Structure 1
Amino acid sequence: MNPAHPLGHAPGAPIRSGIPEHGRIPKYYAVKARISALVDELGEGQALPAERDLALRYEVARETVRQALRELLLEGRLRRQGRGTVAAGPKLEQPLSLASYTEGVRRQGRTPGRALISLDRFPCPPALAAEIGAAPGEPAWHMERVLLADEERVGLESTYVSVARVPRLDADFAPDSSFYDYLRDGLGIAFGDADERIETVLATPREALLIGTPPALPMLLIHRLSRDTAGRPLERVRTLYRGDRFSFTTRLAEGSG
């Protein structure tokens, strides 16, 4: 009988490294494991050998190598660079908290940034009005920005907020900076709490183009409804994060009930 945790098993890794119970390992998976070890040796940003060379090295068909590379790309172990493939760095860890994206990226020694796609003012529809504390038909802002980490595009953020709460967003706010810092330091608006929902999705063709990823790449989608310290609705945010570049962390505590 196989032990539950074999000798040498890395904490957090799949038990028996994904080997089926019948013990027969798919050929592509064996190649994937060997390429993954090669990625560890190469280090971040180093180029991987060409598919042809990997096929010769591991004595398999190029399609077998291609399947292994596809999975490693989706998992974020590799990334495309020009016409080649390079070893990717560790995923960015974003805390599930009221801390901003900017704070989360800075904590990991990366440089956060945002690139403005659009800032539009429009009459607020009823469903959105209730979520951002506006009356139906009152003006609202929609701000769309690409999220950057060390100039790499890693996500897409849509923010909805009432014009009455942030009347000079188009004039006073620097779109490449933290919106939360602007609310707190510029307008004296403090965040109280928020509701968040996370799901996995595929980006639309437009979203994939803006983020610079293939449409088949899984995304992590976060919906957030925020309130100020008085409990009043403040903003609605829809953020797409690249599934190959992000993981999310939170800290749990035992409830009092």
Structure 2
Amino acid sequence: MTSLDREPKSYVVRQGLDRILLELEVGDTVPPERELAVRFEVSRETVRQALHELLVEGRIERRGRGTVVARPKLTQPLSLRSYTEGALLYGRVPSRVVVTWEDLVADDTLATDLALPPESTVMHLERVLLADGERIGLESTYLPKSRFGDFRQTFDPTTSLYAAIRASGVEFGEATERIETVLASPREAALLESTTAMPMLLMHRKTLDTNGVPIESIRSLYRGDRIAFVATLTR
């Protein structure tokens, strides 16, 4: 047998862990590193590497000093549905924690995105997104104050913003979205109860109404271990 025929120890451990997880339920404790190292006859560092891969994939999670089987990721559709609609579609309970709700002077990029004159006032709403009480995303929404200024008095920021926008008579037309992988800043990681080493999905969205007028500019940061996105493609 050549070296190419041998399976790397890390691969063997990973396959073994996959089989173990198939026999466990959500919330069950994963065997500790020491026990797994003895079972697979490898170093604890090799086991630790395989467990880290499962952690990044969202299949396990740290709970106290132990590791347990994680719930399946929340799947969100890439569409003009709100976060609330997407979460409810997959049987999860959405909620939000308001971080910031303030007026800002738009910089050149934001003014261009929202088709506003330079130095126009925009409203910035920053919220932590939760599913079944678990923090999964950090969303920053920018709205033209000239169009939605009354929301500061009428809108409950812990509820669905899209529902409020529709209720105001604005119809969503289309959106442009870009998604990339990033690492969170210390502040973002703390708000998401994660770490700066955990890969995140960064989403930028610009939404227009049916007349082609910008509604919002959004920057959303999602935990890569707790959420996945799905799109339906047609010809």
Tell me whether the two structures share a fold, i.e. TM-score over 0.5: yes
SS at match of 1:43: coil
CA distance in 1, matches of 2:6, 2:139: 44
1:128 paired residue number: 110
> 1:152 is matched by which residue type in structure 2?
E
Q: CA deviation at 1:60?
A: 2.0
1:9 paired residue number: none
1:28 paired residue number: 10
Query: Are residue 183 (structure 1) and residue 183 (structure 2) matched?
Result: no
Q: CA deviation at 1:222?
A: 0.9
> 2:222 is matched by which residue type in structure 1?
Y
Query: Are residue 51 (structure 1) and residue 30 (structure 2) matched?
Result: no
Identity of aligned residues (%): 50
1:162 paired residue number: 144
Q: 1:37 aligns with which of 19, 23, 27?
A: 19
Q: 1:108 aligns with which of 81, 90, 93?
A: 90
Q: How does 1:132-147 map to 2 (within 5 A)?
A: 132-147=114-129
CA distance in 1, matches of 2:72, 2:7: 27
Matched residues, number: 233
1:206 paired residue number: 187
Give the root-mean-square deviation of aligned CA atoms. Answer: 1.4
Q: CA deviation at 1:236?
A: 0.2
Query: Are residue 252 (structure 1) and residue 233 (structure 2) matched?
Result: yes
Q: Indicate conservation of the 8 Å contact 1:133/1:234, yes or no.
A: no
In 2 relative to 1, CA 214–23 (structure 1 residues): closer, same or farther, beyond 3 Å? farther
Query: Are residue 220 (structure 1) and residue 220 (structure 2) matched?
Result: no
Q: Which runs of 5+ in 2 are unaligned?
A: none
Q: How does 1:227-246 map to 2 (within 5 A)?
A: 227-246=208-227
Q: Indicate conservation of the 8 Å contact 1:158/1:239, yes or no.
A: yes
In 2 relative to 1, CA 76–23 (structure 1 residues): closer, same or farther, beyond 3 Å? farther
SS at match of 2:122: strand
Q: CA deviation at 1:207?
A: 0.8
CA distance in 1, matches of 2:73, 2:107: 37
Q: CA deviation at 1:131?
A: 1.2
Once the two structures are superposed, residues 175-225 of structure 1 have per-residue CA deviations (whole angstroms, 9 ceiling, x without a partner) of: 22111001112x111111011111111111111111111111111111100
SS at match of 2:208: strand
> 2:229 is matched by which residue type in structure 1?
F
Q: CA deviation at 1:120?
A: 1.2
Q: CA deviation at 1:134?
A: 2.3
CA distance in 2, matches of 1:23, 1:183: 60
Query: Are residue 76 (structure 1) and residue 54 (structure 2) matched?
Result: no
Q: CA deviation at 1:130?
A: 2.0
CA distance in 2, matches of 1:22, 1:179: 55
Q: TM-score, normalization: structure 2?
A: 0.94
Off by >4 Å, runs of 4+ in structure 1: none
Query: Are residue 61 (structure 1) and residue 43 (structure 2) matched?
Result: yes
CA distance in 2, matches of 1:112, 1:122: 27
Once the two structures are superposed, residues 130-177 of structure 1 have per-residue CA deviations (whole angstroms, 9 ceiling, x without a partner) of: 212322222111111111000000111010011111112322221221
2:74 paired residue number: 92
